[in-house]
Amino acid sequence: MATTMTAFRERTVGDIAAHLAGATAVFRKHKIDFCCGGDVPLAEAAKRRGVDVANLETALGALAAAPPDAPEDTVALVDHILTRFHETHRRELPELVKLARRVETVHREHPQAPHGVADLLERAAAELGDHMAKEEQVLFPAMQAGYGGSLDMPIRVMRHEHDGHAEIVHRLEELTQGFAPPPDACRSWQALYAGAEKFVTDLTEHIHLENNVLFPRFERRWAASARL
Ligand SMILES: [Fe+2]
Ligand SMILES: [Fe+2]
């Protein structure tokens, strides 16, 4: 047990998230960034957030017997990303933008009115739309076809765009006070924050699967062939 706990502390957040089913929920609960900022050891990530690393290790230790929850097969993993995340973002974001516009307009005099949320969600929809199209048209087909050359450059571009999406997430959390509607918020306002929080949860999981699970399969191949 002690060995497992030491190992968690020293492993990167992204590596734990990629290989331990349920770890992402633990990280989300403690606000540990596992998708774009997952490249640091757990001990360091915990320190940054002011979280006791021993508590995290205990929670992760309880999950340690479970197998990873991402498909092993790359074709299946890409299909999962497309249906579970790309399709969901495309379906839900336009509705969220409309809802945000309505709430902002109706409650514009409210001291906690969510000014800027509709524009931000619209930006998220546009940037994600472009980004997902690139993955769908170029990168993912190459991965599913088992392309043997270097995908290092397009992966680097996708990782950089993910960092931009993470900034949108942080801004959305700020503008909505952590998705907490005021006590007198109407049903639409509550629905907007619940929907925005779900979007952020989905997007975080989506980026995590690409950054920590899918991309390293191809980057490793590139790194190995580069050493020859
Ligand atoms: Fe994607
Ligand atoms: Fe992506």
pLDDT digits (tens, 9 = 90+) for 104-149: 999 999 999 999 999 999 999 999 999 999 999 999 999 999 887 7
The confidence score (pLDDT) of residue 67 equals: 60
Question: For the whole model, what pTM was predicted?
Answer: 0.84
Q: Which ligand is nearest to the CA of 154?
A: 2
The confidence score (pLDDT) of residue 125 equals: 97
The confidence score (pLDDT) of residue 7 equals: 79
Annotate 163-210 with DSSP letters as a single string. HHHHHHHHHHHHHTTTT---TT--HHHHHHHHHHHHHHHHHHHHHHII
Q: Which residues of the chain are under the pLDDT cut of 50?
A: 1-5, 222, 226-228
* 227 dihedral zone (left: phi>0; alpha: psi -120 to 50; beta): alpha
Question: Ligand 2 centroid to 208 CA: how many Å?
Answer: 9
3-state secondary structure of 150: coil
Question: Ligand 1 centroid to 127 CA: how many Å?
Answer: 12
The confidence score (pLDDT) of residue 219 equals: 86
The confidence score (pLDDT) of residue 222 equals: 47
The confidence score (pLDDT) of residue 2 equals: 42
The confidence score (pLDDT) of residue 223 equals: 52
The confidence score (pLDDT) of residue 191 equals: 95
Question: Ligand 1 centroid to 190 CA: how many Å?
Answer: 28
Question: Ligand 1 centroid to 131 CA: how many Å?
Answer: 7
Return the C-alpha torsion angle 113, 117, 119, 120, nearest 10.
150
